[in-house]
Amino acid sequence: MTANKILFLVLDGISDRPNPSLGGTTPLAAARTPVLDRLAAEGICGIMDTIGPGIRPGSDTAHLALLGYDPYKYYTGRGPLECEGSGIHMEPGMIGFRCNYATVSKDGKVLDRRAGRIHDTAVLSKAIQDGVDLSKFGVEFTFRSGAGHRAALALKGVGLGHCVTSNDPKKEGVPPLTITAVKKAANHEKTAAVCNEFVKQSMPILFDHPINKDRVKNSLNPANIVLMRGAGEMGHFEPFFEKYGLNGSVIAAASLINGIGSAVGLTRVPVPGITGSQDSNIAGKIAAAQKELDSKDFVLVNIKGADESGHDGLAEQKKNFIEKIDAVLEPLLDRKDCIIIICGDHSTPCTLKDHSADPVPLIIRGDGVRTDDVVRFDEYTCAKGGLCRIPGTALMPIALDLINRTHKFGA
């Protein structure tokens, strides 16, 4: 049977650097991963610079590259993608921000940048949506809650620019900053003024809101200010279906990944109990992906937890989570109708607690794939694989060719 679909599994931040607490090896190499190893044995392996050698990727730029959208052309900041991920439909030219609910004291100092890790803020966001009026600028806005203390703000109007600063002081005990234009031009200055007005009008709405009065009564930090950052102008993304002729879905907990998916026109598939963390329902994600493949040509699944352990510097936890991922992948071994791609989007070394440019390991497995001698999925072994070292933007063309959907170049 020729594989005619693609299952693309991104294990976020899976790869690492040698760690002293693991006897000088990586969490992935230290983990027991019989399923991933079998997929590696049945497939072709390699390592990949998701953006380019020595380029330290964000999850957003990495995923764009992996989907074949050159981030240098398409990436215009995190804000618009977070907006898409929060369910705001972004039209080209709209300005997007990622936001946090935070707590300020009566004398105007930021006390808690996450407002006591408040969640379920939809009512607060609706109060802001109904109460703030930016019409004197000729600007419409959409403000939506995200997961936890997060939210997103989108501005629509003529003459808006995206080169503006944040009001987040990035530390507590100091007042929020005034948002200013980074470049001296009327459009950026207008956006800065609109943002400052948005914050000014939303604060009394939040201060007086019953949810916050209750929180204060219960000694919880109220969500009484919106901090915004990551400004960007929504670009034009060539729809995935037009680009590849494939209809597809995205399954992810992170709103940023969902935002990238929806920006390129992938259908977002909700899965109960997914958190983007160690406790996520990752078995549910794989089950949902299998179901999607009944009707779709392409499914992107992102599993986030290992990246979180990397940021927290917890090598043992990362290794244990990788073993948990391995166990839920077992049903994929029987899947013969699709090309299965498994890779990271970047390395998140526990020793660095951030992303690094170290290349990520990669498996491509499916009918018609020329196999190699690699029988283990880790950074060291995959480096000896038949794919050698490829850039992230090469992945979609390779996968498309394996399902015989590429056009011949030349006669």
- Exposure string for 159-192, b = 16+ CB within 10 A, e = fewer: ebbbbbbbbbbeeeeeebeebbbeeeeebbbbbb
Q: Which residues of 366-400 are buried (b: 16+ CB within 10 A; e: fewer)?
A: beebebbebebbbbebbeebebeebebbbbbebbb
Binding string to Zn ion for residues 24 to 63, with x set by CB under 5 A, is what?
-----------------------------------x----
Output the residue with the shortest Cβ distance to Zn ion.
59
Q: How many residues contact Zn ion, by CB under 5 A?
A: 4
The binding track of 243-282 with respect to Zn ion, each residue x by CB under 5 A or -, is: ----------------------------------------
Q: Using CB under 5 A, which of the segments 148-156, 182-190, 208-216, 344-352 binds Zn ion? A: 344-352
Residue 10 belongs to what H/E stretch?
strand 5-11
Task: Provide, rounded to whole angstroms, the least separation between the CB of residue 80 and Zn ion.
Answer: 18
Q: Which of 244, 249, 245 is nearest to 265 (CA)?
A: 249
The DSSP letter of residue 136 is G
Nearest to 26, CA basis, from 393, 407, 378: 378
- CB 254, min distance to Zn ion, A: 8
Distance between CA 326 and CA 329 in Å, rounded?
Answer: 5
Relative orientation angle of helices 255-263 and 59-66, to the nearest 10 degrees: 40
State the nearest-atom distance from the C-beta of 398 to Zn ion, in Å: 21
Q: Do residues 262 and 268 make contact, with C-beta atoms less than 8 angstroms apart?
A: yes
| Segment lying near Zn ion (by CB under 5 A), choices 83-91, 208-216, 261-269, 341-349 | 341-349
Between 11 and 160, whose beta carbon lies closer to Zn ion? Answer: 11
H or E segment and range at residue 376: none
Of the candidate residues 3, 7, 9, 12, the single one contacting Zn ion (CB under 5 A): 12
| 307 is a contact residue toward Zn ion (CB under 5 A) | yes
Q: Which is nearer to Zn ion, 315 or 374 (CB)?
A: 315
Q: Is 309 helix (H, G, I), strand (E, B) or coil?
A: helix
- Closest distance to Zn ion from the beta carbon of 294 (Å): 28
Look at the block and give the residue holding tokens 């992170």: 254
Check residue 358 for interaction with Zn ion (CB under 5 A): no
Continuous segment of H or E residues that includes residue 326: helix 315-328
**Would you say 104 or 257 has its CB closer to Zn ion?**
257
Q: Closest approach of Cβ 11 to Zn ion, in Å?
A: 9
> Which of 345, 358, 372, 379 touches Zn ion by CB under 5 A?
345
Residues at the site binding Zn ion, with contacts judged by CB under 5 A: 12, 59, 307, 345
